Structure 1
Amino acid sequence: MDQARQIERHPFDVSHRLVLSIAVPMTLGFLTTPLLGLVDTGVVGQRGDANALAGLAVGAMLFDLLLGSFNFLRASTTALTSQALGRGDHDGQQAIFWRALLLAIVCGLVLALTSPLLLRLGLALMGPEPAVARETSTYFSIRILAAPMALANYALLGFVLGRGQGSFGLLLQAIINGVNIILAIYLGLRLNWGVAGVAWGTLIGETAGMVVGLAIVIKSFLGKRPTPLAQILSRHQLAELFALNRDILIRTFVLLAAFTLLTRIGTSFGAVTLAANAVLMNFFLISGYYLDGLANAAEQITGRAIGARFRPAFNRGLKLVAFWSFGLAAIGSAFFLVAGAWLISVLTTAPGVREAALAYLPWAALTGMSGALAFLMDGVFIGATWSKDMRNRMLLSFAGYLLALATLVPAFGNHGLWMAMHVFLLLRGILLAIIVKRRADQTFMAAQ
């Protein structure tokens, strides 16, 4: 019996190099996204048309909400692929990929076909002026055509991350955003297409990324037994995928609601404080790039360890990712505390906004430390496919966040708003961390 158990295990080493080989390329890949946003804004801004610039901003925000809601495609694919890798199940990896790709394309086609309705709903939500709405409509109507390709890229990225191929993930991000940047400049400025040129650049960039990604992944399948369609469309596997995606989607919506509420309450403190909060949120977003990269490493290592039925890899992966997450968060917080005043002066020239931002700087500088455990735990629970726990603990965290807002904001104003955000981040991490050992004991015991 002991020998049979040993045969079922697939030991592998977890090292600092393994963690960083996933985290560093993905962090670099994530950093290309704000660069793309700056280029798009610069291209449209060069035309001197405020309506076009506002229309682009509204359109980009709508797509952040729309496509961000489908991030579960990336997360679930990473988790299931890493577990199949841990089991040494090559056929299962192929089936997971084709299943995720099929779901992504179907969802993308539904978005494209329902785009007129989505556009009307988006414009009703944002309420832009007619001239701005026309520019938004132009941008949206072109970019929505990229929905099937954009969601296919989520599946591709999830698959390569699940196999621990961080460099491949960086390549995909670089192709998508690189082609987008080049074409946005050429079409938007050189050909003077403006907002339409930026949208076409996005469409072509997503298509280029999908084509290259598919070519590389399919090439890796050559020489292996093709996956039967019946396995791809397995009712049991589809049910598992939909359940996992449902839980991650609920968690994502709650997360979006939390940050939307943060902004909404911030508006009650006036334009200057709202602007200061917007400037300071950039510090949290920057911290989020490397913490997200490390969360990707946690997803892959956790999923692979569970698939391999190898508890030592799970334990060591958790320790090493925690080391890098808290270490980099501490360095980042120290940097923002020291250089925050200078960064604020770079981000805004308004004296009132600068003064307000300086008053709340310590809260923003420490968000990386408060959020490090939350990012880490998200990676662990996604990789382990403990999605129900993650969903339920997110709902509990949100309840605690609402209570913090109700008590701290009336008492301390905008300081209380930042306190509530820290409460939310800490609750997300702590409520998951306290059940990690018990869930890991159950999972690895069940695998014996």
Structure 2
Amino acid sequence: MTGQTAPREEITHRRILRIAVPIVLSNITVPILGAVDTGVVGQIGLPEPIGAVGLGAIVLSAVYWVFGFLRMGTVGLTSQALGAGDRGEVAALLTRALLIGVAGGAALIVVQVPLFWAALRAAPATPEVEALATGYMRIRIWSAPAAIAIYGITGWLIAQERTRAVLAVQLWMNGLNVVLDLWFVLGLGWGVSGVAFATFLAEWSGLALGLWFCRAAFARPEWRDPAQVFEPARLKHMMAVNGDILIRSLLLQAMFVSFLFIGSGFGDVTLAANQVLMQFLTFSAFALDGFAFTAETLVGQALGARALGRLRRAAVMSGTWGLVIVLALSAVFALAGGAIIDLMTTAPEVRQAARGFLPYVVAAPVLGVAAFMLDGIFIGATATRDMRNMMAVSFAVYVAALALLVPAFGNHGLWLALLISFVARAITLGLRYPSLEARAS
């Protein structure tokens, strides 16, 4: 397949960086787009459009996030098929991923009215903001099939180490979105609807570009062979993998949502401080994504080829790079964390509170890197049942830590419970790692 790296190529530091760096660069573009959307509607001079775009984008991002399993599951399954030399299955997996994405997006279009109503009841705003946000979402929802299908395309490309193509799709979508934002909002005066139409067009064009990068798969007959695409055993396996990842991701999301909700009980200042510090964790995740995705790809290929040595080398080398990244991040947070906080907020009381909890985000990358990288390893191995079960155990540990520490230590206890959950995920997944090597051998 065009642009595809041979699965048996030696695993080197250069190969790892070749996969990881485009993903890191791709992630950097995500917050830039959000800032441009906000800045463009901010030129209207009213607070309601800013709130409407922010609220609508959060709701749709949360809904689309549910389908994140499609990217992760597609990476593991495709990389294993590639490692096993089954090029026909690689092509068929792309079709399955696209069908799931389009079907999921179509389902969201069908249920949009009750979906938006429930979302706005969960996060109520003023009537004017809600009306503008609803209009924004009613436009954007029509690109849901494209947005979700792109998850599948992204996973399929990552599995073949074609992360430059992933970066190109992201840059194209975000770049076009920015240009259309400026034209529709500032040039044509379309307001909030202009931002929504810009994203709608950018997502459909991103799907078209992604399909062009996948064109080699369409040269094979298997991509449109119903017997191959809907082969019962493989379809059942894909559904099981995606279901496990979905449950695991929902538990992980519940952990972070509960963190924010519990933190809100300590007052507005503490809540704001926690929100500022959570951006440190988000940045850490963006930086680590590239190396976790690398682990997914190389571990999956090694397992598909039943190559124990390559599996172990992929796990160790990608994990080593992850550790290097988090040590650098922790050093930056320790040395410049106060200055970063000052850039993010001008409120003196929030600055002071955030500095008091800064040590937790200095420690978080180091304590969380093992869990993050093991997630990538287990996704690549499609050992998703273990991921699901160990996440459930870790969530239970988190809840127990909350019950013990929050009453005694307040927000400090909340941060400690979160860090303990990171360690629990690392330990529980680490105990299951030998089973992956047993499968490879």
Matches within 5 A, 1:132-143: 132-143=129-140
State whether residues 11 and 310 of structure 1, in contact with CA within 8 Å, keep that contact through their aligned partners in structure 2. no
Matches within 5 A, 1:46-445: 46-219=43-216, 221-222=218-219, 227-441=224-438, 443-445=439-441
Confirm or deny that 1:39 pairs with 2:36: yes
Secondary structure (helix, strand or coil) at the match of 1:14 reads coil
CA-CA distance at 1:407 after TM superposition = 1.0
Report the equivalent of 2:4.
none
Distance 1:100 1:385 in 2: 15
Q: C-alpha offsets along residues 21-67 of structure 1, whole Å, 9 cap, x if unaligned?
A: 11110111111111111111111122122121111121111112100
Q: C-alpha offsets along residues 78-104 of structure 1, whole Å, 9 cap, x if unaligned?
A: 111101110111111001111111111
CA-CA distance at 1:293 after TM superposition = 1.3
Distance 2:417 2:226 in 1: 49
CA-CA distance at 1:365 after TM superposition = 2.0
Give me the TM-score of the superposition, normalised by structure 2.
Answer: 0.96
- Give the fraction of aligned pairs with identical amino acids, expressed as a percent: 40
CA-CA distance at 1:12 after TM superposition = 3.8
Distance 2:251 2:220 in 1: 44
State whether residues 284 and 365 of structure 1, in contact with CA within 8 Å, keep that contact through their aligned partners in structure 2. no
Distance 1:226 1:220 in 2: 7
State whether residues 40 and 181 of structure 2, in contact with CA within 8 Å, keep that contact through their aligned partners in structure 1. yes
State whether residues 297 and 321 of structure 1, in contact with CA within 8 Å, keep that contact through their aligned partners in structure 2. yes
Report the equivalent of 1:4.
none
CA-CA distance at 1:252 after TM superposition = 0.9
State whether residues 91 and 227 of structure 1, in contact with CA within 8 Å, keep that contact through their aligned partners in structure 2. no
Unaligned 5+ segments in structure 1 are 1-9
State whether residues 223 and 229 of structure 2, in contact with CA within 8 Å, keep that contact through their aligned partners in structure 1. no
- Matched residue type, 2:423: L
- Matched residue type, 1:439: L
Matches within 5 A, 1:19-34: 19-34=16-31
CA-CA distance at 1:163 after TM superposition = 0.7
CA-CA distance at 1:226 after TM superposition = 5.7
Distance 1:82 1:64 in 2: 27
Distance 1:185 1:402 in 2: 46
- Matched residue type, 2:306: R
CA-CA distance at 1:233 after TM superposition = 1.3
CA-CA distance at 1:189 after TM superposition = 2.0
- Matched residue type, 1:239: K
Q: Kindly report structure 1 stretches of 4+ aligned residues shifted beyond 3 Å.
A: 223-227
- Matched residue type, 1:339: A
- Matched residue type, 2:67: F
Distance 1:105 1:334 in 2: 43
Give me the TM-score of the superposition, normalised by structure 1.
Answer: 0.95
- Matched residue type, 1:232: V
- Matched residue type, 2:338: A
- Matched residue type, 1:146: S
Secondary structure (helix, strand or coil) at the match of 2:189 reads coil
Distance 1:412 1:166 in 2: 44
Unaligned 5+ segments in structure 2 are 1-6
- Matched residue type, 1:384: A
- Matched residue type, 2:127: P
State whether residues 165 and 213 of structure 2, in contact with CA within 8 Å, keep that contact through their aligned partners in structure 1. no
- Matched residue type, 2:260: T
Q: C-alpha offsets along residues 228-260 of structure 1, whole Å, 9 cap, x if unaligned?
A: 221111111111111111100001111110000
Secondary structure (helix, strand or coil) at the match of 1:305 reads helix
CA-CA distance at 1:323 after TM superposition = 0.7
State whether residues 370 and 425 of structure 1, in contact with CA within 8 Å, keep that contact through their aligned partners in structure 2. yes
Q: C-alpha offsets along residues 344-385 of structure 1, whole Å, 9 cap, x if unaligned?
A: 111111110111111111111221112111110110111100
- Matched residue type, 1:444: A
CA-CA distance at 1:210 after TM superposition = 0.5
Q: C-alpha offsets along residues 156-188 of structure 1, whole Å, 9 cap, x if unaligned?
A: 101100111111111111112221122122212
State whether residues 81 and 301 of structure 2, in contact with CA within 8 Å, keep that contact through their aligned partners in structure 1. yes
Distance 1:94 1:354 in 2: 52
CA-CA distance at 1:11 after TM superposition = 4.3
Secondary structure (helix, strand or coil) at the match of 2:45 reads coil
Secondary structure (helix, strand or coil) at the match of 1:349 reads coil
Distance 2:341 2:186 in 1: 30
State whether residues 77 and 100 of structure 1, in contact with CA within 8 Å, keep that contact through their aligned partners in structure 2. yes
